[in-house]
Structure 1
Amino acid sequence: MPNAARVAAHASRPVPSMRFRCPPSRRSPPMPDPNAHHVSSAVVITRPECMNAVAAEIAAMEATEVHAAESGRVIVVLEGKSAGELGNRLNAIAGINGVIAANMVFEQIIDTEAI
């Protein structure tokens, strides 16, 4: 049977029903650890002409530090109580006028009770 005929015969077969579906997860999301402190670094890529304004706007955010800004790149450290908090702040950074991309590079969770 030529390839074209084999492909056509296969394409015309009915799709088998999905009998083995996984049940929805019943687990609730994990509770945030009150002793956890999240620290993350990010690289923000900007339009070169907007870099200084973007860096100033990021520096004004709570629990966010600008460590360097050069050649359209801004190196940022974010701190917070959860990964979700850091992710929300990174999304806010990505929405600043002149930002091309904002990428989290590293995240560390510190147990404040152990310090």
Structure 2
Amino acid sequence: MLSMASCETNPNFMNGVPELLILRLLQHEEMYGYEIVQAIRGRSEAVITIGEGVVYPVLHALENDRALKSRRITVNGRSRIYYSVTPAGARRLADLAQNWTNLAAAIQTMLKGGKYAEAIP
């Protein structure tokens, strides 16, 4: 998780992005893996594309951390695993969202100029 108080000098800005987006999508609606892939692409107007090779490991890790729960459902003869957010996952989402909001605000300050920075032309 990216922390604004972190002493890390070169944070990987993509750390936590798939986790954040997946938790946000599942916050109000149960979804299965491929549906999540399509929702991220569609809702970001294809600016963000995260493949199944990223989504499934994140889903499994979140489930192992008890941030998600799953249930198997058969739809049109196909068995699918649907995921939903647990209370622990909701807390994790809130923390990730706050960190990304702070990061985005800091980047906007650098781009536009602000209290401590001149705008970047």
Shorter-chain-normalised TM-score: which range? under 0.3
In terms of fraction of residues, the more helix-rich structure is 2
Give the structure, 1 or 2, with the largest relative contact order (CA under 8 Å, sep 6 or more): 1
TM-score, with structure 1 as normaliser: 0.25
Higher Rg? 1
In terms of fraction of residues, the more strand-rich structure is 1
TM-score, with structure 2 as normaliser: 0.25
